[in-house]
Structure 1
Amino acid sequence: MAIRTASGGERLLVSLLLAYIAFTTLWPLAELFATGFQPGDDGAFLGLFTETLASRATARALGGSLYTSGLSVAISVILGASLAFAISLLKLRTQGALTFLILMPLIVPSQTMALAWIELFGANSPILNLIGMAPAPGTTNPLYSAGGIALVMGAEHMPLVFMATRVALRSLPADLVEAARILGIPGRRIATGIILPVVMPSVLAGSLVAFSAAIGNFGVPALLGIPGRVSVLTTLIYQRLNGFGQSAAGQVAVLALLLTFIAVLSLMLRGFVMRKIAVPMPSGKPFEPTRRSAPVEIILWIIVLVIAVAPLAALTMTALLPAIGVSFGLETVSLTQFTTALGNATILRAFFNSIGLSLFTAIIGVLVAIPFAYLSVRRPGPLVKAMDILVEAPWIIPGTVVALGMILAFLQPLPIVGVSLYGTMAILTVAYLARFLPLVLRPVTAAASTIDPALDEAGRIAGAGLTHRLTQIFLPNLLPAAIGGAIVVMMTAQNELTLSALLWSSGHETIGVMIFALQYEGNSTQAAAVAVTSTAVVFALAGSGTLLSRRLPPGSLPWRT
């Protein structure tokens, strides 16, 4: 927007939003860059950056991150692309149920999925013990390894590849496939010579998104890598800050910048793939599958049950055991761990903290997203576009980096007020507001772009002020999208761990932190009970969103895409 041609109300709105973004995003990121690029002990330019990158610990963590992330992407591509092809090219009776289960890892928090896989493959696995395939007692869990990290992250990020591939397959024109059939081209050659080349750019784009998610993942490497002595960048940052505190701020800032560079580079490559390599599809009737295959559908169910259902079933069964090491059976099933967890003042406080944080973040996100969407759609300009890029930054870059920026910005007392946010609920709140705003802003902006601009102009001509136009014209049309975005924010923030692991303090625990702490202390049954309870809350939110999905714009809920 060209500010000089805007009304006074719009100029004020831009100023308020700019101040909001500067406080929650720009300042922390600026502090991070300033700390990471400071001179070394000898005063050399970029000395700290050079020293940190040259250290053996950094090289080991970087190698671990690239190896586990790369291997996890290979798993995600194999699973996600195969499932997308089967779901999209075959007429399946249970397509809806299969699609929901395939997308379930998007709904279940990262640390909960990691904990679920730990319980599935451990020596006390209630499922493997039932079929006599559990590892011997005292055996180290096989997931405590680089391969285990890659397996769990690969299953967790598989939906990202699945969605990208399925969107491409669903946009495939029916005429293209029909013409190939008329020409007598065999089905196998149609698949490999026509469909696969068209879809491959989307598969590659989805794999790059999965890589970016894997490189910034903290929950899985923390629960599997720390016990298995597998170092990655996210856990090295966590361990350095926990072990050395503020004295390690410069080194961890460099690690965070390295992590950011890798994640942003992968997303930039995705953008290049979609712009330069993707094959434009002619408009026409979408391809509709007609072929059925009962054996393939059975195989799909087996794969999906192993990936999505078995780990959560193992987690739930573990939570129903009265103590570690007790075999699962009808005579041993108990709600002891649930009653103990909910009777624990610290755990209960963590639930209230997480619910309050997620609800507050969702509400503020909606209040910020609606006027922001108005400016983006009705008064676009260089400043608004720059703000839009800044808003996306905390979601694009890894959460560990965002948390470190918050520490560097808010460790010292704030100017004028003289109060430090570090060690308070306020720093968690600011971090959540920065991290999760894009989840509301995307669907709201998409919905705003569909509103007839003549309505706003008519209101302006009639003398309606900016506040009246926002509340009476924009808000009613954007409310469904805002509600959908708010639900996604609450689901995501409810069990957040990456930010909270670095920012929590005594009295300000969150559910993600409690699950991590209980598992780290060896209390796996109670950790399972807390994880199952928090996951039930997430599924309840997902259910409420699904019930509202008919009134929400397409894309508001990721599992309904």
Structure 2
Amino acid sequence: MTGTVTEPGAPPADPLPDPLPAGGTLWAATRQKVLSFPFALRVVLSLAVFVLVMLPFYRLIVGSFQEGGPPEQGPLTLQNYRDTFAKSSDIIGNTLEFAVGQTVVPLVIGVLLAWVVTRTDVPWRGVWEFATIGLYFIPLLAAGTAWSILLGGRNGMLNEIIRAITPWDGFDVYSMSGMILVQSLYLVPLVFLVVAASMRNVSPDYEHAARINGASPLSVFFRVTLGVSRPALLSAAVLCFIIGLGSMEIPLLFGFPAKEHVFTTDIFHALRVRMPREHGRASATGVVLLAASFIVLIAYLRSIRHSERYVTVSGKGSQESPTRLGRWRWVVFAACCGFFFLTMVLPFIAVVVGSLLPYIGRPDTELLAQSSLENYRQLSDNPILWRSLKNSLTLSLGAGLFVMVFGALVAYSVVRFKGRWSRTIDYGASLPLMVPAVVMATSLLYTYITLDLPGGFSIYGTLWIMAMAYVVYFLPVAVRQMTGPVVQLSADLEHASRISGAGNLATMGRIVLPILRPALLGGLILAFITYMREFTLSVLLFRSGTEVITTVMYSFYNNGRLPFVAAISVGLWVAGMLLMVVLRFVLKARITF
């Protein structure tokens, strides 16, 4: 005899439910899984990542093998690649020289600054950290304009002063060395952020042991600190190299007048200058840059495959002991003062002075006597400038808000729903970080140039395609920015909300996102300033009526209206610094890559 055993005094057990047919049980389980929040969220994120990231890259690669490029969709051919390599022998060498040069220089400066801030007793370390990150908030076009005013050939203000007091002719930024120098100075923040985070985690015990054994501070730096920070160094080098492959601002400003062409300027001229448009060559060049990026990425992953060798953080506590530099600390202090005067103070003075002058020349009393606010007055009456400012603000706020929420959802999926599916979404969302910006813009251009949405609507030539490019460009950073706050968010709050009767969407809207609001706002400010300074994506995707502030700046620059560009640069420079102060001291947010 079988039955349910009931303890004395206990209520009678509920009768067992009638068993469902096997098919009904399978259908109910499948429906429950499909309609569940984790499944639905990952489906939506997967579709979004596919449309925004994977589809454009696929379209670019396929179109590069078609006659006439992606817009023509002609028969398959290798002619596009033959044209690219046959006409680009000098361009290949220039691209590699520029990419390598603007990788090595910021790597040296950024690593030294990271060491000074995190591992030494140099005065004002907090100030140097703040100033280094502040360099990121300076638009590269504004910095390029400043150096054009200072060192732009014989008419550069600083070159005029140098020739007047020395036998030297000065330094011309309209050269490959000038391109590398200016680009490198403003990549230092990227290297600093990546390397400083690693150096902060280096256990002081290793450095202390080296000093006990008689090692000098310099020896400790090279043999210990740099040794255990090797993965971060390689990561920063890879990011800088890929940025160099896809950067367009400095090569257009300084390289084109000097006839130092690189792949990005070649794509620009193929799509925006030459007639007829060379879509086939542009798409093939984009794929070549994409392949080069992935080759570098694979080499990087192979070099750190034994990352456990560099683990220095363990459960054993240790007391921080900065390296004492003795009298050298004041030499390093003076070097830091000189570096930030060269990269922040002097360029800002240049754009302020340049914005007040009718033309750029030797800063003598005759020219300075003509200073006025006339350039600002003329710009205030320019309708194209106001339209571009409106477009920039709309794109920066709209795309920034969307990408931060999207990044938060990706981070939430990765943290809460661990598994291969979530990791794949994370990898797809992080892919644009390893892709040159010019390739990203080209792939989106070729995806939507012939694609009509329902109703005959096309996003080509509208702000929508630029917004998509902005979202894809910042998505990896948004995910990284939100992963830390999501990890710190206790799942108990969500469980309590659901027990109280709230659904999954209500829990996300009323519990999760409000708690993440400070991180979202900090990321929004970072995205906003990134979009306001962005040029490469915009210059390839804009059309008449969709200009943004950076494309208008380049138009003025290209037409020789350098004082106008300087006046706009002053506004962007000041706005960037104010946002930096808000981000750091009001929101107390940290920037991560």
TM, length-normalised to structure 1: 0.89
Task: Single out whichever of 308-317 and 184-193 deviates more from structure 2.
Answer: 184-193
Separation in 2 of the partners of 1:430 and 1:46?
A: 30
1:294 aligns with 2:294: no
Task: Give the number of the structure whose alpha-carbon radius of gyration is greater.
Answer: 2
CA displacement at 1:244 relative to structure 2: 4.2
Cα deviations across residues 91-144 of structure 1 (Å, max 9, x unaligned)? 1222222222233332212222222221121234445545655999xx997111
- 1:503-514 equivalences in 2 (<5 Å): 503-514=541-552
Q: Secondary structure at the match of 1:449?
A: helix
Deviates more, 1:250-259 or 1:205-214: 205-214
CA distance, structure 2, for counterparts of residue 182 and residue 24 of structure 1: 55
Contact 1:172 1:287 in 2 (8 A): no
| Distance in 1 of aligned mates of 2:33 and 2:90 | 54
Question: Is contact 2:375–2:563 with CA below 8 Å preserved after alignment?
Answer: yes
Counterparts of 1:135 and 1:316, CA distance in 2: 26
Separation (CA, whole Å) in 2 of partners of 1:15 and 1:220: 40
1:313 aligned residue: 349
Task: Find the counterpart in structure 2 of residue 71 from structure 1.
Answer: 101
CA drift of 1:358 comes to: 0.1
Aligned residue type for 1:434? V
Q: Which residue of 1 aligns with 2:189?
A: 159
Q: How does 1:218-229 map to 2 (within 5 A)?
A: 218-229=248-259
CA offsets per residue over residues 34-82 of structure 1, 9 Å max, x none?
A: 10133699x996513541343132x322211101111222222332223
* Consecutive aligned runs of 4 or more in structure 1 exceeding 6 Å deviation: none
Q: Cα offset for 1:488?
A: 0.7
CA contact (8 A) 1:21 1:387 kept: yes
Q: Which 10-residue stretch deviates more, 232-241 or 110-119?
A: 110-119
Residue 577 of structure 2 corresponds to 539
Q: Between 169-178 and 266-275, report the one with greater CA deviation.
A: 266-275
Alpha-carbon distance in 2 for matches of 1:124, 1:135: 16
Gaps of 5+ in 2: 1-29
Kept in 2, the 8 Å contact 1:36–1:253? The answer is yes
Name the amino acid aligned to 2:198.
A
Structure 1, unmatched stretches of 5+, are none
Measured after TM superposition, the shift of residue 291 of structure 1 is 4.0
By how many angstroms is 1:448 displaced? 1.0
1:82 aligned partner: 112
Instruction: Report the Cα distance in structure 2 between the residues aligned to 1:504 and 1:403, rounded to whole angstroms.
Output: 11
Call closer, same or farther: CA 1:101–1:366 in 2, change over 3 Å: closer
CA distance 1:53–1:131, shift in 2 (3 Å): closer
Once the two structures are aligned, what percentage of the paired residues are identical? 24
Aligned counterparts, 1:288-437, within 5 A: 288-292=322-326, 293-325=329-361, 327=363, 331-437=369-475
Taking the aligned partners of 2:586 and 2:31, their CA distance within structure 1 comes to: 38
Q: Give 1:26's match in structure 2, choosing from 29, 43, 54.
A: 54
Q: Quick one: which of 502, 507, 515 aligns to 1:477?
A: 515
In 2, Cα distance between equivalents of 1:197 and 1:385: 30
Residues 524-547 of structure 1 deviation map (CA, whole Å, 9 limit, x = unaligned)? 111111122122222222222123
**Partner in structure 1 of residue 8 of structure 2:** none
State the secondary structure of the residue aligned to 1:103: helix
Give the drift of 1:380.
3.5
Among 53, 65, 79, the alignment partner of 1:48 is 79
Map of 1:38 onto structure 2: 66
1:488 aligns with 2:526: yes
More displaced stretch, 276-285 vs 231-240: 276-285
Residue 285 (structure 1) aligns with: 319
SS where residue 464 of structure 1 aligns? coil
Query: Which piece of structure 1 moves more, 5-14 or 477-486?
Result: 5-14
In 1, Cα distance between the equivalents of 2:582 and 2:155? 35
Tell me: CA distance 1:135–1:83, structure 2 relative to 1, closer, same or farther (3 Å): same
* 1:295 Cα offset (Å): 2.6
Question: How is 1:440-451 mapped onto 2 (pairs within 5 angstroms)?
Answer: 440-451=478-489
Q: Normalised by the size of structure 2, how large is the TM-score?
A: 0.85
Number of aligned residue pairs: give it.
551
The amino acid that maps onto 1:545 is L
Aligned-partner residue type, residue 216 of structure 1: G
Tell whether 2:41 aligns with 1:13.
Answer: yes
Aligned equivalents of 1:244, 1:189: Cα separation in 2 = 54
Q: For each residue in 1:140-199, what CA deviation from the matched residue of structure 2 results, as whole angstroms up to 9, or x when unmatched? A: 971111111111122122233333333333222222222333344444543444334334
Alignment of 1:181 onto 2:211: yes
Matches of 2:284 and 2:545, distance apart in 1: 30
Taking a change above 3 Å as real, the CA distance of residues 225 and 188 of structure 1, as seen in their structure-2 partners, is: closer
Whole-angstrom CA distance in 2 between matches of 1:134 and 1:519: 29
CA deviations on 1:460-498 (whole Å, 9 max, x unpaired) are 444421112102321122111111111111000012111
Distance change >3 Å, CA 258–CA 528, structure 1 → 2 = same
User: Which sits farther off after the overlay, 349-358 or 236-245?
Assistant: 236-245
RMSD of aligned C-alpha atoms? 3.0
For residues 442 and 39 of structure 1, the distance between their equivalents in structure 2, rounded to whole angstroms, comes to: 40
In structure 1, C-alpha distance between the alignment counterparts of 2:313 and 2:395, rounded to whole Å: 46
Q: Quick check: 1:395–1:438 contact (8 Å CA) kept in 2? A: yes
- 2:50 maps to amino acid: A
Deviations 1:198-222 (A, max 9, x none): 3444333322221111111111111
Q: Does residue 465 in structure 1 map to residue 499 in structure 2?
A: no
Task: Work out the CA distance in 2 between the residues paired with 1:368 and 1:303.
Answer: 38
Whole-angstrom CA distance in 2 between matches of 1:121 and 1:97: 28
Q: Is the 2:355–2:375 Cα contact (8 Å) retained in structure 1?
A: yes
* 8 Å CA contact retained: 1:126, 1:317: no
How far apart in 1 are the matches of 2:170 and 2:448?
41
CA distance, structure 1, for counterparts of residue 44 and residue 118 of structure 2: 46
Alignment of 1:96 with 2:133, yes or no, is: no
AA partner of residue 384 (structure 1): S
TM-superposed deviation, 1:254: 0.9
Secondary structure of 1:419's match?
coil
